[in-house]
Structure 1
Amino acid sequence: MQPMKYADLHRNIKIHIITDFFTDLTQKSIIPFMAIYLSVQMGAGWAGVLLTVNIVSSMIAGLGAGYWSDRIGRKKMMVIAQCVQVFALFWLAAANSPWLNSVELTCIMFFLSSLSSGITVPIAGAMIVDVSSEHERHYVYGLQYWTTNVAITFGALMGGLLFDSFRFILFSLVCMESLVTLFILLFFIQETMERTEKTGSVQTTAPVRRNMLKTYGSVLRDRKFMVFFTASVLAVSLEFQLDKYIAVRLKSEFSAQLFHWNISGLQMFSLILAINTVLVALVAIPFSKWMGRFQSRSIMTVGMCLYTAGFAVLAFSNWAVLLIGSAVLLTIGELMYSPVRQVLLAGIIPDSDRAAYMAADGMSYNLAALLGSLGLMIGAVLPSYAMASLYVIIGIAALGFFRRSLRPSAEPSESLRCADAS
């Protein structure tokens, strides 16, 4: 089997990867700093309330968008959302211009921008599944994982340089990027829902007659998906431990010398983040090509084991060399498990409700974030070795749920892949 190349992908995917990179780059230059802005302007309490409202509203908007995208088309919903995004970002820039400084207008437009992002994400995910094969998805999700991480890194750097003193310029650049993305959506992206509906199967057309509550009721009753959803929540919750319990523990407990340099806990935490970022930037794409040669379930198993082991070590160790090694270990595990998780998800969701399932899957990240916060609370009571044991239990449970969700449908596909190989 020939290795995948970017030029071999469907036009929609190629365009989406490029636009998604610049969207992530610009959005991540704003979103992480809005909490600071709102706290300064309105107080920490009101800032927390507004950010919570934004998150919950974008989640609800994503569920609605997933439902309607499966009915009226991917492109239509994405264009509507992008129009809202351009409108919101234009007035966000205006509200922070030399001619106008309005905190109230900034809050309203940031809310609309969050709604637009909540609408776009599940639809874009469904569109990728519409026009890709299982073999292509290993490469696509690996490439997407790389571009997202690189964009987040440079976006945070750009925001750090511009947000405080040059907010109008920053918001204007983000608005221009959003306007270009809208132009590309209108004239270059193809509708993909017709491709899904041409199967002619009863399952494809029946859900159109269901309302939203019944649609998501059927998602909740889909046992295989809910087992997979549970596995995702558990796996991603470990990632959210990094900047919560692990960061706090290193700050309070860690102090060591590395190559004759004194390193504080915060410096070690920064080094762990840097190792993760650099490794992802350097090896994510060749790694995704290499992983395409192996069974998805095998990659998931090995990746989750490395990922879990890395976090378990970070939870208790104060030896600098071991912490650096565990950072490398969890990054390799993440590079293996994260893109493959997307591939496996695409294989278990029904064609007729792809966007709805993608929207429901997006909820796993919000629940994982909640578990991450709970981990910080539990860590205040339990000793570090107990937290490490808890991470191992969570990782093993996640892997067990992943394998259980794939057991019924994995065997035929594996047989076919073995036959292809022979």
Structure 2
Amino acid sequence: MKYADLHPNIRIRIITDFFTDLTQKSIIPFMAIYLSIQIGAGLAGLLLTVNIVASMIVGLWAGYWSDRIGRKKLMVIAQSLQVMALLGLAIANSPWMDSIIVTCLMFLLSSLSSGITVPIANAMIVDVSSEHERHYVYGLQYWTTNVAVTFGALMGGLFFESFRFLLFSLVCLESLATLFILIFMIRETMDKRESGCGDAPIQRNILKTYWAVFQDKRFMIFFTATVLAVSLEFQLDKYIAVRLKNEFTAQLLGSDISGLHMFSLIMVINTVMVALVAIPFTRWIGRFQSRSIMTVGMLLYTAGFTVLAFSNWAWLLISSAILLTIGELMYAPVRQVMLAGMIPDSDRAAYMAADGLSYNAAALLGSLGLTIGAFLPSYAMAGLYILMGLGALIFFRMLLRKAEEQNQHLPCADAS
């Protein structure tokens, strides 16, 4: 499998998604700090919560309508809103204007745009990819996302505090270029599906649509497994970071390092490994069965986080960071392939939007882990991580075991 062999829409989306992620990650992590300084931590937290909830709601709405009126129309609308939001942010933080109210409103508009785009873009990839392509596609997408996060954080760190106008202007130009690409190069994918498939009933309202999604037993098993697995990742910058700050001090290569230094080192290891080995590693593991990849990957991933929950030995923590990264590189693309294979053609974007809720639930568990960790000893938290990881693995394996016999024989299987 080569990049040039992929459908043009996928090739374009991978490139534009990279720059979209770059834009988001150069703004969002630093916006929380900026808002806390400008309006206070309490109001900043409330505003960020409103943004997340609004993004979730509009994502569900977009998933529903994308399955009925097409992908491209809504993606162009969402990208147009993103251009407007970033232009507004640039103006509100320019040499001629400094408005925190406009900044908050435009930040909300940017969040709404992202909420619309994500489930539709994911559904579009499924529309035009075959089952044997998806492992490569999702591995490549995982790599580009992590590289974008790295460079976005670097851009934000360099420009956000002192050069916000320049930063917002640059990302606005990037967003405008993405809009033109969507308008003139991306093709609608709804017509790629077989004409007799499913009849996505427009008379079925949004509540009935999502009621049907969350009554899908296979999807809910997958949803639960995703929440358990991803919630471990959300522990890293919460409970694990706090524990290392409070408990860890050691010497490494003759130098004293603090818990925050160790946490930063773990993040660097994860980022560098993904950037350097994700694509060749994904190609190599693609020759093995999905169930074997998922099993080994989740075991390594769980073991890595379990050790991070209690150990204060520097070299063991470094080894665990390597293990969990390898595990994540193995299980994450398989998870995406599983999702693509189980959703019905008529409600693809709706299922993608519902899947996005699993990340919000995982983020909630990540925050809850910080609270629970204040009362439980570190070895008890490690035990909880083992239960969460093994629970996710059991559910994922259950679905993979059934996949062969079911083989996604839906009434109108995707023939793309």
The aligned runs of 1:60-71 (5 Å cut-off) are 60-71=57-68
**Do the aligned partners of 2:76 and 2:182 also contact (CA within 8 Å) in 1?**
yes
Of 186, 196, 200 in structure 2, the residue corresponding to residue 200 of structure 1 is 196
Q: Is the 8 A contact 1:24 1:148 kept in 2?
A: yes
Cα shift at 1:27 = 1.6
Matches within 5 A, 1:5-404: 5-196=2-193, 198-201=194-197, 204-404=198-398
Shift of 1:134: 1.3
Q: Spell out, residue by residue over 1:197-247, the C-alpha distance to the aligned partner (whole angstroms, 9 max, x if none).
A: x2413xx10533311011001001100000100000000000000011111
CA positional deviation for 1:412:
5.7
> Shift of the alpha carbon at 1:406?
3.4
Report how many aligned residue pairs link the two structures.
Answer: 408
Local SS of the residue matching 1:200? coil
SS in 2 for 1:221: coil
8 Å contact 1:95–1:102 — kept in the other structure?
A: yes
Residue 308 of structure 2 contacts residue 320 of structure 2 at CA under 8 Å; is this kept in 1?
Answer: yes
Q: What amino acid is the match of 2:289?
A: Q
CA contact (8 A) 1:29 1:159 kept: yes
Distance 1:287 1:207, change over 3 A: farther
Task: Give the CA deviation at 1:408.
Answer: 2.7
Shift of 1:410: 3.0
Same amino acid, percent of matched pairs = 77
Contact 1:225 1:405 in 2 (8 A): no
8 Å CA contact 1:79, 1:182 repeated in 2: yes
TM-score of the superposition, structure 1-length normalised? 0.95
Unaligned runs of 5+ in 2: 409-416
Runs of 4 or more, structure 1, over 4 Å off, are none
Identify which range, 254-263 or 61-70, moves more after superposition: 254-263
Q: Deviation of residue 156 (structure 1)?
A: 0.5
- What CA distance in whole angstroms lies between the structure 1 residues aligned with 2:109 and 2:174? 17
- Cα distance in 1 for residues equivalent to 2:10 and 2:2: 12
Offset at residue 92 of structure 1 (A):
1.2
Q: Distance in 1 between matches of 2:83 and 2:250?
A: 49
Instruction: Note the C-alpha offset of 1:261.
Output: 1.4
5+ unaligned residues in a row in structure 1: which ranges?
A: 415-422
Instruction: Indicate the residue corresponding to 1:417 in structure 2.
Output: none
CA distance in 1, matches of 2:124, 2:73: 12
Q: Distance in 2 between matches of 1:408 and 1:258?
A: 47
How far, CA to CA, are the matches of 1:241 and 1:27 in structure 2?
A: 21
Aligned equivalents of 1:252, 1:37: Cα separation in 2: 26
CA distance in 2, matches of 1:168, 1:323: 40
SS at 1:293's partner residue? coil
CA distance in 1, matches of 2:205, 2:400: 28
Moved more, 326-335 or 87-96: 87-96
Q: SS where residue 35 of structure 2 aligns? A: helix
Shift of 1:61: 0.4
Corresponding position of 1:419:
none
Distance in 2 (alpha carbons) for counterparts of 1:350 and 1:137: 16
Aligned partner letter, 2:196: G
Letter in 2 for 1:120: T
Counterpart residue type for residue 11 of structure 1: P
The answer to whether the Cα contact below 8 Å between 1:207 and 1:215 also exists between their aligned partners in 2 is: no
Q: How far apart in 2 are the matches of 1:239 and 1:20?
A: 22
CA distance in 2 between counterparts of 1:77 and 1:6 reads 26
Cα drift, residue 413 of structure 1: 4.6
Matched position secondary structure for 2:202 = helix
* Structure 2: distance between partners of 1:295 and 1:210: 38
Q: 1:407: Cα distance to partner?
A: 3.3
Say if 1:296 and 1:340, in contact at 8 Å, map to a contact too.
Answer: yes
TM-score computed with the length of structure 2 as normaliser: 0.96
- What CA distance in whole angstroms lies between the structure 1 residues aligned with 2:70 and 2:200? 16
Aligned Cα root-mean-square deviation (Å): 1.1
**CA deviation string 1:108-130 (max 9, x = no partner):** 11101100000000000000000
